[in-house]
Amino acid sequence: MEALWRSERVPGDVGISINRAGDGPDPVVCLHGITAQHRAFTPAARHAGPARGLVGVDLRGRGDSDKPDSGYGLEAHAGDAIRVLDHLGLDDAVLVGHSMGAFVALKAALIYPHRVRALVLLDGGWPRVEVPPQEEMTEEQRREAEAIREGLARAFSRLEMVFETPDDYLGFWFPDGNLTMADLPPDLADYYRYDLQPVEGGHNPKCSTAAAKEDSPAVTRTSPTAEEMRAVGCPVALVRASEGFFPGSRPLIPDATRDVMAEALDLRSEMVLPGANHYTMLWTPYTRQWADLLLSDGWYRQGRTPEVRGPG
């Protein structure tokens, strides 16, 4: 497979690993989800990297970045994103965030407004609400909360597992598939290989358990409310999967939540991806439907556009 990524190190008390695709002087900077790493953006990098340039960040505690015992949370990750811009010599940039990365991007836009030119939120960044006691929650709120808990619990459960071979790791993700790395598209196989590190007895996911466990409640407690979102001064694109963590599950950003975001943010572009879930939206064929947002800044230099629903 042709080499796509070039690795660099952002120095500091917590070293951050970044990977560059393309040589453009104004790359988009991509921030991944809570237990993922930059290879989640490989399909996007193949689309946008050659023309514009794309930088994938391994957030602290993930990938090849340093993994301190503590010191996580949205503000720390937002500060790291700005350190990446400094390292690249960028006055400002378009930040692209998937899942937790969308919350990090929003936090960066609020704390460092002059450094964030625009935001592309991929199935993340919904407003924080004060969660009522369980007995006071509506049925919809209970279903949404349970879906998020279930999805995160499954993702977190693998972090302390040891897999004898990389192929055994696929058994976690595709329990009924009996797959090997050779059965997967090369970019997807590369994602799973990069996700692992050698340990005694086999391979273990690179994501720090301490990082994930500190970040999860931090997102719940410190992500912006709808009222706080009104202070985001840059244009925003919102891309939603039609399904949640699992095929057939409820979307993480239902229409009612989207309406709240649209009222609070300067949404210039919107898209729903029918048939995609929270994970598959980053991969072919769904990437092609939203990756043009990364190629140029034209989507936010014009007026607000209506929501687009891809082919279902």
pLDDT of 155 reads 84
Q: Quick check: 232 and 115 in contact, CB under 8 A?
A: no
* Ranges of the chain with pLDDT below 70: 1-2, 130-148, 151, 303-312
pLDDT of residue 296: 86
Angle made by CA atoms 10, 157, 283, in degrees to the nearest 5: 60
Residue of 186, 192, 172, 180 whose CA lies nearest to 43: 186
**Structural class in CATH, domain 6-133+223-309:** alpha beta
Q: What is the pLDDT of residue 219?
A: 94
Q: Mapping DSSP to helix (H, G, I), strand (E, B) and coil, where does residue 98 land?
A: strand
Q: What residue ranges do the domains of the chain occupy?
A: 6-133+223-309
Predicted pLDDT of residue 235? 98
Cα-Cα end-to-end distance for the chain: 31
Task: Give residue 76's pLDDT.
Answer: 98
pLDDT score recorded for residue 59: 98
Residue 132 is predicted with a pLDDT of 57
Overall pTM surpassing 0.85 (yes/no)? yes
Identify the pLDDT of residue 158: 95
